[in-house]
């Protein structure tokens, strides 16, 4: 079964002025990211505003990305939804259209017990073929539920296609616990962009990164440097990546991602209501800061 590895880019979802998904822009974004050397694509997650899309919209976006990627990179579709039925429907659809696997966030908003979380993930993983990879997704600061390592172990023991987790919280002790699941064979991708190098050093296979949707270059170069055992360069690239993360508000407001992509010549439209786009003043400040970072980092990033 395929794993997430290296730089897995969490993709934004482009919306036109009419508020509808623009699939041409989605294809263009896919091409941009592949051209920059990312290893895997992860549409329809937090970065992709997944809960603002209907099930049918999500299916169409998944189809667009899988078709545009054309087996050139690994594609995992995030399918976590507001209820179990929709999640299962989206997971089955991802398998049917030829995605390489799925990611599934914990149930959101309503609190769930450890047993409820276990049964939820087992139900979703069991709804697709046993050789279709499933990654759990734990982002407790947003989803209101935390997935403990012993629960992960129980899920993985019951479902052999649950092969990994995306962990988007900066707790390295918990990260280490996940790495010990299944006698150390469980795949872990860190979702905290600022800890990409730290995660690699601990044994994570890579990152699932939202900031890399805007600036894939430092992340791809960092992974390459790490693979070549050039830790000095990897550390320098991590510091650069952190500056981009902070400038883009660490993924707390995707309007910054979309504005920055447009500044790079990649049209991704607007935010879906009720979230607002950046003001003219915010855009001007962002552009000035990104110009400074681009100039300061280009020799390191583009000569890697």
Summarised one tens digit per residue, pLDDT across range 186-209 is: 999 999 999 999 999 999 999 999
Is 175 flagged in the annotation as binding? no
Q: For residue 176, what are its two tokens?
A: 């280490």
- Asked whether residue 261 carries a pLDDT value surpassing 70, the answer given is yes
Residue 135 contacts residue 187 (beta carbons within 8 Å) = yes
> Smallest Cα–Cα separation from 251: which of 14, 1, 10?
10
Q: Is residue 120 annotated as part of the catalytic site, yes or no?
A: no
**Predicted pLDDT at 185:** 98
Is 208 flagged in the annotation as binding? yes
**Predicted pLDDT at 102:** 99
Q: Is residue 137 annotated as part of the catalytic site, yes or no?
A: yes
**Predicted pLDDT at 299:** 82
Catalytic residue among 59, 166, 233, 258: 166
- Asked whether residue 215 carries a pLDDT value surpassing 70, the answer given is yes
Alpha-carbon distance 159 to 134, whole Å? 9
**Predicted pLDDT at 304:** 56
Query: DSSP state, 271?
Result: P
Report, as an integer, the average pLDDT of 203-228. 98
Angle 285-141-85 from CA coordinates, rounded to 5°: 115
Catalytic residue among 120, 137, 178, 256: 137
Q: To which CATH superfamily is domain 6-302 assigned?
A: Aldolase class I (3.20.20.70)
Q: For residue 121, what are its two tokens?
A: 């993930």
DSSP alpha helix (H) spans, 36-96: 55-69, 84-96
Torsion from C-alpha of 271, 90, 136, 268, nearest 10 degrees: -20
Torsion from C-alpha of 60, 57, 103, 159, nearest 10 degrees: -80
pLDDT-derived band at 303, boundaries 50, 70, 90: low
List of residues 6+ apart from 130 with CB closer than 8 A: 160, 161
Residue 135 contacts residue 104 (beta carbons within 8 Å) = yes
Write out pLDDT tens, residues 224-258. 999 999 999 999 999 999 999 999 999 899 999 99
**Among 5-9, 141-145, 198-202, whose mean pLDDT is lowest?**
141-145
**Predicted pLDDT at 271:** 96
């Amino acid at each position: 079964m395929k794993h997430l590895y290296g730089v897995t880019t969490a993709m934004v979802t482009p919306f036109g002025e009419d508020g509808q998904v623009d699939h041409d822009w989605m294809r263009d974004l896919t091409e941009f990211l592949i051209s920059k050397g990312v290893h895997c694509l992860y549409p329809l997650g937090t970065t992709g505003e997944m809960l603002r899309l209907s099930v049918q919209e999500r299916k169409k976006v998944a189809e667009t990305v899988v078709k545009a990627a054309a087996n050139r990179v690994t594609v995992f579709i995030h399918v976590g939804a507001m209820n179990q039925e929709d999640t299962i429907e989206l997971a089955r659809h991802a398998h049917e259209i030829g995605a390489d696997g799925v990611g599934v966030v914990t149930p959101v908003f309503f609190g769930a017990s450890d047993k409820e979380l276990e049964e939820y993930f087992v139900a979703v993983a069991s709804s697709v073929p046993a050789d279709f990879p499933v990654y759990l997704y734990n982002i407790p600061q947003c989803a209101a539920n935390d997935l403990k390592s012993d629960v992960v172990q129980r899920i993985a023991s019951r479902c052999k296609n649950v092969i990994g987790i995306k962990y988007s919280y900066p707790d390295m002790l918990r990260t280490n616990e996940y790495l010990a699941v299944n006698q150390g064979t469980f795949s872990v991708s860190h979702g905290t962009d600022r800890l990409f190098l730290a995660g690699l050093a601990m044994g994570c296979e890579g990152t699932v990164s939202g900031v890399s949707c805007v600036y894939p270059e430092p992340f791809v170069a960092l992974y390459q440097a790490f693979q070549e055992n050039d830790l000095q360069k990897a550390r320098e690239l991590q510091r650069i990546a952190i500056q981009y993360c902070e400038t883009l508000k660490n993924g707390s407001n995707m309007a910054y991602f979309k504005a920055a992509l447009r500044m790079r010549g990649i049209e991704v439209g607007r935010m879906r209501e009720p979230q607002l786009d950046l003001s003219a003043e915010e855009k001007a400040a962002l552009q000035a800061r990104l110009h400074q970072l681009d100039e300061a980092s280009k020799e390191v990033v583009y000569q890697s």
